Amino acid sequence: MEESYLKSVIRRFRYHKAGVISFWVVVVIAALAILAPVIAPYAPDAINPEFSAAPSAAHWLGTDQIGRDVLSRLLYGTRTSLLVGVAATLISTVIGVLLGLLAGYVGGAVDQIIMRITDMVMSFPYILLILVASVIFKPGLNSIILILGFVDWPGVARLVRGDVLSLKEREFVQGSRIAGMTKSYIMFSDILPNVMGDILVFATTVMATSILDEAALSFLGLGIQPPMASLGNMLNGAESVTVLTTMPWLWVSPGLLIIVLVVSVNFVGDALRDALDPSSVR
Amino acid sequence: MTEKQEVKGQEPPEGKPASQSKEKQQPLLSVRGLRRLYKEESPKLFARPGYVHAVDGIDFDIWPGETFGLVGESGCGKSTTGRLIAGIEEPTEGTVFYRGKDLYRMSREEKKSIRTQIQMIFQDSYASLNPRKRIYDILSEPMLYHKIADREHVAARIDELLEMVGLPENAKRRYPNEFSGGQRQRIAIAKALSLNPSLIICDEPVSALDMSIQAQILNLMKDLQDELGVSYLFIAHGLGAVHYISHRISVMYLGKIVETGPGRGVFSHPAHPYTKALISAVPIADPSKPNDPNAIPSGEVPSAVNLPQGCRFASRCPFAEDKCRQTEPELKLIASAGQDGKGLTEHLAACFYAAGEL
């Protein structure tokens, strides 16, 4: 019975087969992305003599229309996409958690103001926001991270606020109030640890969404700008019917990778949800 | 408690006989004219809001080492009373004195020290323990926060507390969900005791447990009282457990105390028709003695928003007459087993019928 919380989380995580497999898939993809400069056979923007070449021994996944090695671009592109996913998730989670805690615990007018802002951001079509932003700022890695970070926080804020509202009425929180503990102590000692699991699970969803959003925006040419590679802008070529029908190697691998990455991240989130709950039976 | 005081008169109660020392004669807790109204959400936009009279002017004293039972059906205001005394709600009117000091008008420092002296145990023992913390942390946190024990002494104190409530020493390394309801309630009691309180508010502490566990927890509470001299405010909806543990019992109906007196007196000679009804609702373990069907009140509890004129129980009372529907009865002495200066033996009821005034 005596095991640390972390150990029990790992034990429960192991019961989720898809989660464990997905976890390793994500780890391998992340490792490949991080090690891209070491393992990539070519520089991502190096132009080779063969244009639009089908996969061969020299170029495992072929080359694109201007002769860049697809495998190398895929590795560097994954790096970009993961970086966008993680950074945007971090920004939106921090904003969302802080605003959610504040709204839920302080309540009253503060709650009203925060939640109306949340509604506003939520109802705003983000493609439009990004169109406008891309006019004002230079499109690129930093702006896409910031934009996605500032678009995704309302979900987190709502989740945290809801959790805080229900936890606030729980007897153990009232017990701490009776024992004379201060609001900030209760917030960080009693409430936050109980919201942490939900936040982590939600963060995986946000990360998956961010990766997809980056892909969509880059596909439209509003996100990561060439020559920098991202999974999204690698799909860019598939806008043309010729590429779509005759050069599948250009879009199949980045497309598949996006699917595998997003599905895996979601499965990890699902497994985490079960694992982080000490009251689950396992 | 002998006379119903007016709400405005908020003087700390004083001991009566001058001969005895003041320390002995001071109640631990004195509730005076306590009232808590809740604004009712109105469906109409411009309607004048109604007020739910959750607690509607009650007075009572709790003496050191005493168990004071508060009974009544759901919604009668007994839990609100507990929460008001615990300080997680503010009264609309009236106040509570703790050792002669007004609980709602004191400095921050005083408040902080008083907060360690009144603790609470809840009905839902699962929700009363933080599921993400080990028992060790649950028990040590309040002590460290209030600097009642330092890090070195906390461990010994926790072992002591666990022993007091009859749990094994290794319990401290586990999480709340690894325990049964009865064990969790023991942990909740240990948590309440960790700050050395002189009063523990017990809000239906055994209602969620099965019968045999109920008896265990009640016996544990009794033993702890003998050992530590702690007072309990024991809130429950059924008379069974309250009768078993309480020295004195007050019966609440629609935000008011309708009967109060020594446990045995109230239980064996109930004066108020509502108390009689409550007692007849306790199942008798003898099929040849059926419950008295007349004692079970008919009709619905009146709304706590639009309180009836006169006695609040009149609409359901088998003995009600015109006088009951017009004037509200006050608590009157029914019986007394002698004067002790504390009113501990006085049996009072707010009923014209019981007082022989009909």
Structural domain count of chain A: 1
B181: in domain: yes
pLDDT surpassing 80 at residue A257: yes
pLDDT at A216: 86
**Which alpha helices (DSSP H) does chain B contain, by range?**
22-25, 78-86, 108-115, 135-145, 151-164, 181-193, 211-228, 239-245, 263-268, 273-280, 322-326
B111 close to A (CB below 8 A): yes
Q: Cβ distance A99 to A119 under 8 Å? A: no
To the nearest whole Å, the CA of A38 is away from the closest chain B CA by: 43
In chain A, what residues touch B177 (CB-CB under 8 Å)?
A: 278-279
pLDDT given for residue B20 in this prediction: 43
- Chain B residues with CB under 8 Å of A177 CB are 87-88
Task: Report which of residues A282 and A75 the model is more confident about.
Answer: A75
**Which amino acid, one-letter code, is at B66?**
E
pLDDT above 70 (res A148): yes
Q: What pLDDT does residue A162 have?
A: 94
B179 belongs to a structural domain:
yes
B260 forms bridges with which residues in the sheet? B250, B348
More confident call, A132 vs B182: B182
- What whole-number percentage of chain B has pLDDT above 90? 37
Predicted TM-score (pTM) of the model is 0.79
- The Cα of A254 is separated from the nearest Cα of chain B by a number of Å equal to 41
CB contact (8 A) between residue A1 and residue B145: no
pLDDT of residue A168 exceeding 50, the answer is yes
Long-range (24+ apart) CB contacts under 8 A made by A219-226 are A220/A127, A222/A130, A222/A131, A222/A134, A222/A139, A223/A139, A223/A144, A224/A80, A224/A84, A224/A140, A224/A141, A224/A144, A225/A139, A225/A140
pLDDT of residue B280: 81
- From the number of C-beta atoms within 10 Å of its C-beta (0-12, 13-18, 19+), residue B131 rates as middle
Residues for chain A: how many in total? 282
pLDDT in tens, A220-241: 888 888 888 888 888 877 777 8
- The whole-number pLDDT of residue B246 equals 92
* pLDDT of residue A254 exceeding 70: yes
Percentage of chain B surpassing pLDDT 70?
A: 88
Q: Check CB contact of A7 with chain B, cutoff 8 Å.
A: no
Residue B114 has pLDDT above 90, yes or no: no
Asked if the structure places residue B206 within a domain, the reply is no
CB contact residues (below 8 A), chain B span 179-198, against chain A: 191, 195
Q: Which of A5, A169, A171, A192 to mutate to test the interface with B (most CBs of B within 10 A)?
A: A171
Task: List all residues of chain A from 141 to 180 with a beta carbon under 8 Å from chain B.
Answer: 170-172, 174-180
Q: What pLDDT is attached to residue A65?
A: 79
Taking an 8 Å cut-off on Cβ atoms, the answer to whether B115 and A179 are in contact is yes
| pLDDT in the model for residue B29 | 93
Q: How many domains does chain B have?
A: 1
The verdict on residue B166 lying in a domain is: yes
- Residue pair B25/B17 in contact by the 8 Å Cβ criterion: yes
CB-based contact B54:B80 (threshold 8 Å) = yes
Which backbone phi and psi does B38 adopt, to 5 degrees? -115, 135
Cα distances from B251 to residues A79, B74, B346, in angstroms, run 70, 12, 14
Q: What is the mean pLDDT of residues B136-140?
A: 92
Among the partner residues A170, A172, A180, nearest to B112 by beta-carbon distance: A180
Domain enclosing residue B158, as ranges: 128-195
Select from B248, B250, B189, B199 the least CA-distant residue to B221: B189
> In this predicted structure, which of A23-32, A198-207, A237-246, B204-213 has the lowest mean pLDDT?
A237-246
- Tens of pLDDT, residues B260-292: 999 888 888 889 999 988 888 776 667 676 666
Two tokens, residue A241: 């019917």
CA distances from B303 to B115, B130, B220, B277, B330 (A): 34, 36, 38, 19, 20
A82-131 confidence digits (pLDDT tens): 999 999 999 999 999 999 999 998 888 999 999 999 999 888 887 787 77
Q: d(Cα A236, Cα A249) in Å, to the nearest integer? A: 13
Residue A50 belongs to some domain of the structure:
no
CA distance A151 to chain B (A): 31
In this structure, the number of other CB atoms found within 10 A of the CB of residue A269 comes to 20
What is d(CA B81, CA B261) in angstroms, rounded to the nearest whole number?
18
Residue A135 domain flag: yes
Q: Does the distance separating the beta carbons of A1 and B131 come in below 8 Å? A: no
Q: How far apart are CA A115 and CA A137, in angstroms?
A: 28
What does the mean pLDDT of chain B come to?
84
Nearest to B90 by CA among B55, B136, B60, B62: B55
pLDDT of B185 higher than 50: yes
Q: What whole-number distance in Å separates Cα of residue B272 and Cα of residue A123?
A: 60
Select from A180, A190, A196 the Cβ nearest to the Cβ of B130.
A190
**Interface probe, candidates B90, B103, B108, B130, chain A, greatest A C-beta count within 10 A:** B130
CB A197 within 8 A of CB B131: no
Which pLDDT band, with edges at 50, 70 and 90, does B16 fall under? very low
Cβ atoms of residues B94 and B57 within 8 Å: yes
CB B129 within 8 A of CB B138: yes
Report how far residue B130's alpha carbon sits from residue B126's, in angstroms, rounded to the nearest whole number.
8
Token pair 């003998």 in the structure block, residue: B226
A280 within some domain: no
Domain assignment present for residue A157? The answer is yes
B88 close to A (CB below 8 A): yes
pLDDT on residue B315: 86
Question: Does the residue A28 lie in any domain?
Answer: yes
pLDDT score recorded for residue A161 = 95
Q: Which domain holds residue A107?
A: 5-45+61-275
The rounded distance, in Å, linking the Cα atoms of B15 and B4 is 17
Any idea what the CATH number is for the domain that residue A237 is in? Answer: 1.10.3720.10
The verdict on residue A53 lying in a domain is no
Within a domain: B144: yes
